[in-house]
């Protein structure tokens, strides 16, 4: 059997998501798995060996199969081997975005009742200040200098693995065993812990690989830590940028360009806000990304002008893909920039929503009529009429089945379909006659007037085409069912047109289309829109609605 065939066989037979790493270490041992901000490289063989050493240490310390373990370590040289070590021992990895705010973070920790805690010194100090959420923690590991709190350190974990590190016989879970609890950002509601099994992780790795034709040996620039975890499993070199991952919109675009050019990056992932800044930098300086074959962006719809600017930085044949999905299910659908700019952008400008492409293989996407009620079981009577906007649902191996310790939210988001779980995305949209999915916004942010329902994205995209508009947000004033639609506008910084003139032009644009004809109130927001903490791209329309209500009172 060839090496490639043996690698394929090993990844097929092991349910542990960590099994992809040793498979890639056998296939390309001396290739860089990680290139860190200081220029240091870690090969696949080194990453696998280091994670083996940590796995021995974690097991000896009491972090074993099923132990809920919070990891609070920045995405640096220790983050990746620790994640794979936790998977190898079969622990349940708990990841919470620190940017969600102290109150939400502590609530998430309280719900998950962690039994082990692995963190940098600053995280341990926070643990000591806010003790209650950590009341069940029995095992401590400090990544960095351990002060007075006791527990284990990384050197002590490594020592347990021997020198050189002994190979670790990783736990062989079933595909249904829990691998991780990943918390949503809470940008459109409360943060919730999506329960990931090893099988779900594996389905996601395979879907991303097959959908985007990713090959081992490629070089990726991931600007979102969670997505970076896929790189070693896919055999890609991850170039870790020197940036604050909690604020992707503030990443230095010149630095990103330098990394692409210095390392021959072939693939990159970035939020729409980061790509907007990168594209504007390219437009201003003439900088290019000459080796990039694909760009992936998720977290919010990507505006047409962002696609246009970034496309000019890429070589011929390269594409920007905008996978649609969520923490609870990724990917669901995908579209490339060639189709988006060449075909669907015109429909977006006319108020049809943003086309997010065709469902990926293995994802069954269906549209149901909009309701805020629990749906216990699937019936085809739930389906919306062809072409009607409704709630997007998905069924497939990449779909999570529950939220941790949140049975009510699980009931609201999941539908039993003959033993298979259907996830209600919370987004609304419709399917065209070519099977493409058009996203029309969040269900909870719809504006319900006496005349009918307006959905955010179709309305906003009509107005976003005006050159003086950076972005806008549709919000409702008043009681749902009797709401008045209000358009809140964030102006382009370079725009010189006055508010009254711009308002008149926008009203004239809206009057030409049925989807926007009822928008009669326009307010100009005096600063940048409030956005989510994870991608800096989802507009916090609830906050803007409160602001608008105060101005209209």
What are the tokens at 126? 């926070």
Ranges 144-153, 374-383, 446-455, 529-538: which has the least confidence: 529-538
What is the structure's pLDDT at 10?
Answer: 37
CATH number (domain holding residue 484): 3.30.300.30
What is the structure's pLDDT at 306?
Answer: 96
More reliable by pLDDT, 81 or 300? 81
- What is the arithmetic mean of pLDDT over 391-419? 97
**Confidence label for 9 from pLDDT (cuts 50, 70 and 90):** very low
User: How many whole angstroms separate alpha carbon 271 and alpha carbon 47?
Assistant: 27
User: Which uninterrupted H or E stretch holds 368?
Assistant: strand 364-368
What is the structure's pLDDT at 8?
Answer: 39
Domain end position, chosen among 177, 198, 219: 198
**Confidence label for 164 from pLDDT (cuts 50, 70 and 90):** confident
Strands 68-72 vs 437-442: parallel, antiparallel or unpaired = unpaired
More reliable by pLDDT, 104 or 502? 502
CA distances from 158 to 34, 83, 155, 341 (A): 19, 15, 5, 51
Domain end position, chosen among 198, 230, 253: 198
Condensed to tens digits (0 to 9), the pLDDT of residues 440-471 reads 999 999 999 999 999 999 999 999 999 999 99
Condensed to tens digits (0 to 9), the pLDDT of residues 178-237 reads 999 999 877 667 889 999 999 999 999 999 999 999 999 999 999 988 888 999 999 999
Range of the domain at 460: 446-552
Name beta bridge partners: 296.
Answer: 269, 321
Asked if residue 32 belongs to a domain, the reply is: no
Q: Is the pTM of this model over 0.85?
A: yes
User: How many whole angstroms separate alpha carbon 534 and alpha carbon 100?
Assistant: 8
Asked if residue 16 belongs to a domain, the reply is: no
Asked if residue 70 belongs to a domain, the reply is: yes
The count of domains in the chain is 2
Q: Is 156 exposed, middle or buried (0-12, 13-18, 19+ CB in 10 A)?
A: middle
User: How many whole angstroms separate alpha carbon 139 and alpha carbon 136?
Assistant: 9
CATH number (domain holding residue 137): 3.40.50.980
CA distances from 500 to 283, 466, 493, 513, 523 (A): 30, 15, 17, 21, 10
Asked if residue 355 belongs to a domain, the reply is: no
Instruction: Please name the residues in contact with 111: beta carbons below 8 A apart, sequence gap of 6 or more.
Output: 193, 404, 405, 406
Which string of b and e fits 240-254 if b means at least 16 CB within 10 Å? bbebebeebbebebe
Residue 442: cis peptide before it, omega within 30 degrees of 0? no
């Amino acid at each position: 059997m060839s090496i490639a065939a043996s690698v394929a066989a090993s990844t097929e037979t092991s349910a542990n998501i960590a099994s992809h790493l040793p498979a890639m270490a056998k296939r390309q041992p001396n290739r860089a798995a990680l290139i860190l901000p200081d220029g240091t490289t870690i090969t696949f063989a080194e990453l696998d060996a280091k994670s083996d050493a940590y796995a021995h240490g974690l097991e000896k310390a009491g972090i074993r199969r099923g132990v809920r373990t919070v990891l609070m370590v920045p995405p640096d040289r220790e983050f990746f081997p620790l994640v794979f070590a936790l998977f190898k021992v079969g622990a349940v990895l708990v990841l919470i975005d620190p940017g969600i705010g102290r109150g939400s973070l502590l609530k998430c920790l309280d719900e998950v009742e962690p039994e082990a805690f692995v963190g940098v010194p600053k995280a341990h100090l926070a643990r000591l200040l806010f003790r209650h959420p950590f009341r069940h923690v029995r095992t401590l590991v400090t990544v960095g200098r351990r002060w007075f709190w006791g527990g284990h350190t990384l050197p002590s974990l490594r020592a347990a693995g021997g020198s050189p590190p002994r190979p670790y016989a990783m736990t062989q879970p079933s595909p249904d065993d829990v691998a991780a609890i990943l918390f949503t950002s809470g940008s459109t509601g409360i943060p919730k812990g999506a329960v990931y099994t090893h099988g779900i992780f594996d389905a996601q790795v395979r879907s991303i690989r097959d959908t985007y034709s990713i090959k081992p040996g490629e070089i990726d620039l991931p600007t979102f830590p969670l997505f970076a975890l896929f790189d070693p499993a896919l055999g890609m070199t991850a170039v870790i940028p020197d940036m604050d991952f909690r604020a992707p919109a503030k990443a230095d675009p010149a630095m990103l360009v330098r990394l692409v050019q210095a390392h021959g990056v072939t693939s990159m992932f970035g939020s729409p806000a980061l790509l907007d800044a990168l594209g504007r930098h390219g437009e201003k300086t003439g900088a290019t990304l000459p080796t990039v074959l694909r760009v992936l962006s998720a977290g919010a719809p990507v505006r047409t002008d962002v696609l246009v600017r970034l496309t000019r930085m890429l070589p011929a044949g390269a594409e920007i893909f905008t996978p649609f999905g969520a923490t609870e299910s990724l990917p669901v659908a995908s579209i490339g920039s060639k189709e988006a700019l060449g075909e669907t952008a015109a429909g977006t400008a006319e108020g049809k929503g943003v086309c997010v492409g065709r469902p990926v293989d293995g994802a069954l996407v269906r549209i149901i009529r909009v309701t805020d009620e629990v749906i216990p079981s699937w019936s085809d009577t739930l389906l919306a009429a062809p072409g009607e906007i409704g709630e997007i649902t998905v069924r497939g191996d990449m779909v999570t089945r529950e939220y941790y310790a949140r049975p009510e939210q699980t009931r609201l988001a999941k539908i039993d379909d003959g033993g298979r779980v259907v996830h209600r995305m919370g987004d609304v949209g419709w399917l065209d006659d070519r099977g493409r999915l058009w996203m029309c916004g969040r269900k909870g942010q719809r504006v319900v007037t006496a005349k009918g329902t307006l959905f955010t994205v179709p309305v906003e995209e009509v107005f976003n085409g005006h050159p003086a508009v950076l972005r806008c947000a549709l919000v409702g004033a008043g009681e749902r069912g009797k709401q008045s639609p209000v358009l809140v506008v964030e102006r382009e910084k370079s725009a010189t047109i006055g508010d009254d003139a711009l308002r008149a032009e926008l009203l004239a644009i809206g009057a030409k289309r049925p989807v926007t004809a009822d928008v009669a109130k326009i307010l100009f927001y005096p600063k940048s829109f409030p956005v989510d903490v994870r991608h800096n791209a989802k507009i916090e329309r609830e906050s803007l609605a409160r602001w608008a209500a105060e101005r209209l009172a």
